[in-house]
């Protein structure tokens, strides 16, 4: 599994795993030797070598928190890496009308490929459709459009998977402990993604009959709300064994509340993958022992996908002639054992 | 809202020109009815908390927690009460708290340590208040619009400073102030600040010329002007005061959360206005009490606390909050018309 540690392998985690499986399948099939290779082995895969010039239009929401800021950084840095990519990046906006206007401008400029992280996926579906009809393929980043007709490829994180992996991690850590009590500090409750994370977490915990989720409060992804809600949770639950916090930004506040209450009798798992969380995990002197990723590197991958689209190629590590229609990223659990590897991807 | 069309002409507006003991008496009596009804609500809440979660709710630590959580918004509400009593509104309080808290926690500011952070937070707050005040008092802008503009630009500036990143405070003396070791006789320093601001606010509003002028300007600006009050200067001072409160609140928030973030103070304007309203402050100006506003803040914080202790979710909390605002205002209108 050395591919996983390589950069490309890291970015296309899921893709690399399936490619690995495919390759293993090929090699174990003794009779077929190099003479009649599968056609796919000649497929033009996008690699680091310069190819046809591609102009990529990038439209995202206003980078008003660390994760979105990291999304912009990842996209820019990735585009700079390629001499054959020109990135047209718009001023981020949370206003639907404004973002529609920005994307229409990019369509009129006739960029080759669009990468769109909509402020609101449903509200921007129409403009995605418009771009596709104008012959500009759209890579839909993370917040999904209403219909697959509005994008050529969707790539994004796995909120359900975050909850699932957090739940399993906690479940394994508390194995053998009878009547274990777990609490959840959720994110903004009026977002669907929060419901999905909670659903995943609950589903994972069902595998561990010794664990009971005793409390859940929703913060607002901000440090301030994280501190406030965590302080209340700590007061409400005088004893519990583990805590899952949906978001590392609000986790800064949650950790502050934990410190203020002088509690250290439980294990905490975070979410998203902020630098401060990675550092705390590495130091290993507090309650925070792990965090579940929602990797902002997906923006770099989206640039790769857009470039491959523009050059009419597939992606390395996959047998197909073209890029996939949909890629769901894996929500890896980062703990002390692998934190060094992820440290450079941590966002502030 | 600055028109001379006076709201229900109650004693507070009539009081200024004559300022005679009977008027004071009436005011006190009425204020007492309101305060008593708020205390009643608070007592009911404490009863509910005590019954549903006796161990967790009726606990010194919980009392410290509720008061600490009330401190930041409480200080903002004291400033807001002055502004509303004068017939104005300050929609920018949350944004000013955000701007002051991020400005005070930049790497550059943190190099100056405790004093640097405190100074910056207060100065940024006062500075924003000054801009609000000048625009409203001397630029003749409607408070709603001037402070709405401040809301937008202060949030924008806060975002520009942080670049969306969370600024973590590393100055030990600031962080220590939010820890249990810093409690004075079991009282968290944040709560002490809140208490001091409340007492000063009460004294200023009730026992000084500045306070009486504020009420007069809110009740009937034209009459106030004819009575020789420099209405414009008074307004300027009031927005300065609100800005100052925001600066102090920003510092408290930095101590509490150990960080500065551009999302800080989210919707504080609504929380502060709501607390002032259920505390009996008239949105049209001319009437309001610090006691009422602070009780309003405590009621909201206690509700949030009880809900969290009982593991009720945020949707229910929000519905209840809305219902309580409506109920409180309806009850007060009843008591106001019967007394």
Q: Is B2 a residue whose pLDDT tops 50?
A: no
Q: Quick one: closest CA in A to B265, which residue?
A: A224
Residue whose token pair is 């924008």:
B156
Residue B56 sits at the chain A interface (C-beta within 8 Å): yes
Q: How confident is the model at residue B210 (pLDDT cuts 50, 70, 90)?
A: very high
Q: Is B12 a residue whose pLDDT tops 50?
A: no
Q: Quick one: closest CA in A to B98, which residue?
A: A224
CA A168 to chain centre: 18
pLDDT in tens, chain A (348 residues): 444 455 554 444 554 444 444 444 444 444 444 455 555 566 677 777 888 999 999 998 888 778 888 999 999 999 999 999 999 998 888 888 999 999 999 999 999 999 999 988 889 999 999 999 999 999 999 999 999 999 999 999 999 999 999 999 999 999 989 999 999 999 998 888 999 999 999 999 999 999 999 999 999 999 999 999 999 999 999 999 999 999 999 999 999 999 999 999 999 999 999 999 999 999 999 999 999 999 999 999 999 999 999 999 888 888 888 999 999 999 999 999 999 999 999 988
Alpha-carbon gap: A239 to the closest alpha carbon of chain B (Å) = 12
| Domain A159-294+336-345, second-level architecture | 3-Layer(aba) Sandwich (3.40)
Q: Is B54 a residue whose pLDDT tops 60?
A: yes
For B86-105, what is the mean pLDDT? 96
Alpha-carbon gap: A44 to the closest alpha carbon of chain B (Å) = 39
Predicted local confidence at residue B52, as pLDDT? 94
Which of A200-214, B4-18, B44-58, B101-115 is predicted with the least confidence, judged by mean pLDDT? B4-18
CB spacing of A69 vs B165 below 8 angstroms: yes
Residue B11 sits at the chain A interface (C-beta within 8 Å): no
Residue A249 sits at the chain B interface (C-beta within 8 Å): yes
CB contact at 8 A, B71 and B250 = no
Predicted local confidence at residue B335, as pLDDT? 64
Predicted local confidence at residue B22, as pLDDT? 54
Q: Is B107 a residue whose pLDDT tops 60?
A: yes
The full set of domain ranges for chain A reads 2-42, 49-157+300-306, 159-294+336-345
Which CATH code fits A49-157+300-306? 3.40.50.2300
Alpha-carbon gap: A304 to the closest alpha carbon of chain B (Å) = 25
Nearest Cα to Cα of residue B220 among B85, B23, B68, B107: B85
- B297 vs A29, more confident: B297
Predicted local confidence at residue A276, as pLDDT? 93
Q: What is the pLDDT of residues B121-158, one digit of tens each?
A: 999 999 999 999 999 999 999 999 999 999 999 999 99
CB contact at 8 A, B308 and A234 = no
Residues from chain A that touch B266, judged by Cβ atoms under 8 A, are 220, 222, 224-225
Alpha-carbon gap: B62 to the closest alpha carbon of chain A (Å) = 7
CB spacing of B180 vs A262 below 8 angstroms: yes
Q: How confident is the model at residue B252 (pLDDT cuts 50, 70, 90)?
A: very high
Predicted local confidence at residue A30, as pLDDT? 46
Instruction: Return the half-sphere exposure (C-beta side, CA atoms, 13 A cut-off) of residue B273.
Output: 18
Ordered DSSP codes for A262-329: T--SSEEEEEE-BHHHHHHHHHT-SSEEEEEE--TTHHHHHHHHHHHHHHT-EETT--SSS--SEEEP
Please name the residues in contact with B3: beta carbons below 8 A apart, sequence gap of 6 or more: none
Q: Tell me which of B58, B253, B259 to substitute to probe the interface with A (most A C-beta atoms closer than 10 Å).
A: B259
The model carries a pTM of 0.83
Q: Is B298 a residue whose pLDDT tops 90?
A: yes
Q: Which fold has domain B29-338?
A: ABC transporter involved in vitamin B12 uptake, BtuC (1.10.3470)
Residues from chain A that touch B61, judged by Cβ atoms under 8 A, are 235, 261
């Amino acid at each position: 599994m050395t591919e996983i540690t390589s950069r490309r392998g890291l970015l296309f985690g899921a893709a690399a795993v399936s490619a690995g499986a495919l390759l293993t399948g090929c090699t174990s099939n003794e009779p077929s030797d190099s003479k009649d290779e599968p056609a796919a082995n000649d497929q033009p895969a996008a690699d680091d070598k310069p190819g046809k010039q591609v102009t990529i239009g990038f439209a995202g929401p206003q980078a008003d928190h660390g994760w979105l800021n990291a999304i912009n950084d990842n996209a820019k840095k990735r585009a700079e890496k390629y001499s054959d990519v020109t990135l047209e990046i718009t001023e981020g906006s949370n206003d639907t009308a404004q973002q529609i206007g920005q994307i229409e401008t990019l369509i009129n400029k006739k960029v080759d490929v669009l990468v769109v992280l909509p402020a609101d996926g449903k509200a921007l579906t129409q403009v995605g459709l418009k771009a596709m009809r104008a012959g500009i393929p759209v890579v839909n980043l993370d917040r999904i459009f209403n219909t697959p007709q509005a994008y050529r490829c969707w790539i994004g994180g796995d909120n359900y998977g975050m909850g699932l992996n957090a739940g399993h991690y906690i479940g394994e850590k508390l194995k053998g402990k009878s009547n274990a009590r777990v609490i959840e500090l959720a994110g903004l409750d009026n977002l669907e993604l929060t419901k999905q994370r909670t659903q995943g977490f609950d589903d994972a915990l069902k595998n561990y009959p010794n664990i009971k989720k005793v409390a859940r409060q929703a913060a607002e992804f901000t440090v301030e709300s994280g501190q406030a809600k965590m302080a209340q949770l700590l007061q409400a639950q005088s004893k519990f064994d583990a805590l899952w916090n949906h978001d590392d930004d609000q986790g800064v506040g949650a950790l502050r509340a934990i410190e203020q209450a002088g509690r250290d009798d439980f294990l905490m798992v975070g979410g998203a993958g902020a630098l401060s969380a990675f550092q705390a995990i590495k130091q290993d002197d507090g309650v925070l022992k792990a965090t579940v990723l929602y990797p902002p590197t997906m923006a770099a991958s989206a640039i790769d996908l857009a470039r491959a689209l523009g050059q009419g190629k597939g992606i390395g590590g996959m047998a197909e002639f073209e890029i996939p229609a949909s890629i769901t990223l894996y929500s890896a659990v980062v703990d002390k054992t692998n934190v060094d590897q992820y440290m450079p991807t941590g966002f502030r | 809202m600055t028109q001379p069309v006076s709201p229900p002409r109650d004693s507070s507006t009539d009081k200024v020109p004559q300022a005679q003991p009977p008027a004071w008496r009436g005011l006190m009596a009425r204020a007492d009815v309101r305060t008593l009804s708020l205390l009643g609500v608070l007592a009911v809440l404490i009863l509910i908390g005590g019954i549903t979660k006796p161990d967790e709710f009726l606990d010194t630590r919980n009392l410290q927690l509720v008061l600490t959580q009330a401190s930041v918004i409480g200080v903002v509400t004291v400033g807001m009460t002055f502004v509303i009593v004068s017939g104005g509104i300050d929609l920018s309080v949350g944004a000013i708290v955000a701007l002051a808290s991020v400005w005070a926690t930049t790497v550059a500011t943190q190099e100056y340590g405790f004093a640097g952070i405190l100074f910056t937070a207060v100065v940024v707050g006062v500075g924003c208040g000054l801009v609000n005040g000048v625009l409203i008092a001397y630029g003749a802008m409607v408070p709603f619009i001037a402070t709405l503009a401040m809301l937008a630009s202060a949030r924008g500036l806060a975002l520009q400073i942080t670049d969306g990143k969370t600024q973590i405070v590393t100055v030990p003396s600031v962080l220590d102030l939010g820890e249990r070791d810093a409690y004075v006789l079991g009282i968290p320093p944040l709560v002490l600040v809140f208490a001091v601001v409340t007492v000063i606010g009460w004294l200023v509003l009730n026992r000084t010329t500045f306070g009486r002028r504020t009420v007069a300007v809110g009740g009937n600006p034209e009459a106030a002007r004819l009575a020789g009050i420099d209405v414009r200067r008074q307004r300027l001072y009031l927005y300065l005061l609100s800005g100052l409160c925001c600066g102090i609140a920003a510092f408290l928030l930095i101590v509490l959360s150990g960080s500065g973030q551009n999302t800080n103070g989210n919707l504080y304007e609504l929380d502060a206005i709501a607390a002032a309203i259920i505390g009996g402050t008239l949105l049209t100006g001319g009437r309001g009490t610090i006691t009422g506003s602070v009780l309003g803040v405590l009621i909201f914080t206690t509700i949030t606390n009880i809900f969290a202790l009982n593991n009720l979710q945020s949707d229910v909390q929000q519905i209840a909050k809305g219902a309580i605002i409506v109920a409180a205002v309806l009850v007060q209108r009843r008591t106001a018309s019967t007394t």
